[in-house]
Amino acid sequence: MFRKWAYKIFFIIFWNIFIFGCISSAGPNNIVHENPAEDENYDKNYERSTSNAELVKNFETHFIIYATRLNTSFRSSLAKRYLKLFNEPQPILAELSAKSGFFVSVYTRNRDKINLADQHIWNIQLSKGGEKVNPTTIRYLKDKSRWQPFFKDISPWSREYLVIFDIDTGTKDEKLAVDGASQLLFSNSDGRAIFNW
């Protein structure tokens, strides 16, 4: 009889320790960052600035590309969110100044073709105001965890790049260089993806 009660008491104590020991609180000094989709103002700008393309051939996905145009309104939202999360200004935004920039996340099943900077594999062009240009910079962004709070399409199988074009719009209007109508083209031996803004 004593053993039955001892097991019951032991079970109740163990269960309470298990349940209440696993409960924690963020506390008043700890803040959990919201998902980009939960930040309403940021998410609206993100959705307006981001497009995706998927190339499927013979029921196989050859590549998926998400391109976010770093236009004036998105840069402003990104800067505010970055400052809110990391308490410092976003350094890449200063580098872009009057240039056209894109945050690109690419997935391909063929890992030999994932390097956007390899001009033997990929052709990348931006058409703006009748002018076609190739990127001046294609930078591989290694730190996924730093970018995931801003770009929700990042996955463990994708690679992220900052693609920058130096466009001469024929005027000194910085807004036209950053925000004017444009077409972004990615192509390789599998196919091509065209994004219009």
What average pLDDT does this structure show over 111-132?
90
Are 182 and 128 in contact by the 8 Å Cβ rule? The answer is yes
Q: Distance (Å, rounded) from C-alpha 53 to C-alpha 65?
A: 5
List the beta strands (DSSP E) in 42-181: 50-57, 60-69, 100-108, 123-128, 131-133, 137-141, 159-165
- Of residues 77 and 178, the one with the higher pLDDT is 77
pLDDT of 51 strictly over 60: yes
- Of residues 125 and 99, the one with the higher pLDDT is 125
Q: Distance (Å, rounded) from C-alpha 136 to C-alpha 97?
A: 14
pLDDT of 188 strictly over 70: yes
What average pLDDT does this structure show over 133-149?
91
- Of residues 46 and 40, the one with the higher pLDDT is 46
Has this prediction a pTM greater than 0.85?
no
- Which pLDDT belongs to residue 181? 78
Split at pLDDT 50, 70, 90, the class of 6 is low
Please state which of the ranges 29-33, 53-57, 115-119, 153-157 shows the lowest mean pLDDT: 29-33
For the segment 83-96, what is each residue's pLDDT rounded down to a tens digit? 888 888 877 777 77
Q: Distance (Å, rounded) from C-alpha 160 to C-alpha 57?
A: 23
Are 36 and 151 in contact by the 8 Å Cβ rule? The answer is yes
Split at pLDDT 50, 70, 90, the class of 169 is very low
What average pLDDT does this structure show over 77-88?
88
- Mean pLDDT rounded to a whole number for the chain: 81
What percent of the chain has a predicted confidence (pLDDT) above 90?
A: 36
Nearest to 157 by CA among 90, 102, 88, 107: 107
What average pLDDT does this structure show over 1-24?
61
Token pair in block for residue 187: 């192509």
Q: Distance (Å, rounded) from C-alpha 17 to C-alpha 10?
A: 11
